[in-house]
Amino acid sequence: MTRVVIAPDKFKGSLTAVEAAEAIALGVRDALPDAEIVTCPVADGGEGTLDVLEAAGARIVRLTVRGPLEEAVKASYAVLDGTAYVESARACGIEFVEPSPETALSAHTWGVGELLADALVHGARRLVLTVGGTASTDGGAGMLSALGAGVLDAFGAPVGLGGGTLSRVASTELTPVRERLDGVRVSVATDVTNPLLGASGAAAVFGPQKGAGPSEVRLLDEALGRWAHALRVGGAPDVSGIPGAGAGGGVAAGAIALGATVESGFDLIAGLTGVDEALEGADLVITGEGSLDEQSLNGKAPAGIADRARPRGVPLMALAGRIQLDAAGLARLGVVASSALIDHAPSLDHARAHAAELLRERAADLVRGWRPR
């Protein structure tokens, strides 16, 4: 019997990873009615991670928190085997703002701290903070403030919230947070390797996506430099050059300052969803995401699946909303066949609105053209 593993990430704006896996599975069933199909939706630690965790059996805790621009937002985190998984974007995601120079400076991560605090109150002994898709570039200052830290100017007064206010920060008081985290293991799940500062840092790389123009990028980068210094004043290690500290607008840096370790988001989630076990003895694996591009080659879900399929000799197919990799890029991933939904739809809007049925059709067509070993 042919064994097919289906392991896509989300199709942003259209389908969760779970929904994408279900649609692809229907297409495989259309083409191979007798196949053994194993669905393992995946995530890389960014947006959509909680959907995958819920499918893996996690309990979802819902609460209302302070959003990135002060308005209340409905957020959630996941609990599985005593570990709380907090997805930063649920509290301060970019979807909660209209990106502009003003919001790029004022968006904050206070709500992320509220989610972490709730998990601690309810007995979590391990915290996993997944980052990505945030509206903020505040280095995690809002998050730490919500957990009880002091983020202070030269006169010992709180500087306020938002990345822009960090231009005034001089010191931090971290003892209250350290006491709350005593005995609790903290991890940051990300496959982004950007440092906090500089040309490849949080402000320069991710700030423009959040509405920052050149002057705001410079201001935020300088402010984050002051933030890194203030954390050191509070007894934290130097987070400025640590790979991954720039993830989530630097929210990772705030966690690392308190001793959090950086883990591969994809590896962590893949371990919970059983991808490795599913690939043993598989004849074919199908992965995908909204946009298959150069970023997909660096720690994103398709690259993670490819790295697991290659040594096992399992052929890899890829489905995406759009494919921006050339033949060489696809070959580097080890893709034997691929299809982009946009190439089979009259418009991008149509592809998004009908992503599930298009995925089913494209999966069936790819599998029909494939010959098992």
Mean of the pLDDT values across residues 174-203?
A: 94
pLDDT over 80 (residue 298): no
The answer on pLDDT for 12 being more than 90 is no
C-alpha torsion angle, residues 48, 54, 55, 57 (rounded to 10): 150
Q: Give the pLDDT mean for 304-325.
A: 93
Q: Which residues pair with 337 in a beta bridge?
A: 317
Can you name the CATH fold of 3-40+274-369?
Rossmann fold (3.40.50)
Residue 76: count of CB within 10 angstroms of its CB = 16
* Mean pLDDT score, 312-332: 92
**pLDDT surpasses 70 at 185:** yes
Closest listed residue to residue 341, CA positions, set 326, 361, 325, 327: 361
What tens digit of pLDDT does each residue of 59-98 get?
A: 999 999 999 998 999 999 999 999 999 999 999 999 999 9
Domain boundaries, the chain: 3-40+274-369, 49-265
pLDDT for the residue numbered 277:
93
Residue 162: closest CA among 117, 116, 205, 100: 100
**Which class for 349: exposed (0-12), middle (13-18), buried (19 or more C-beta within 10 A)?**
exposed
Token couple for 166: 């960090």
158: its two tokens: 């709180």
Handedness of CA 46, 52, 259, 243 (dihedral sign): negative
pLDDT at 363 over 90: yes
CATH number of 49-265: 3.90.1510.10
Residue 323 has a pLDDT of 92
Nearest alpha-carbon partner for 370 in 317, 333, 324:
317
Q: What is the pLDDT of residue 49?
A: 87
Single-letter residue type at 194: N
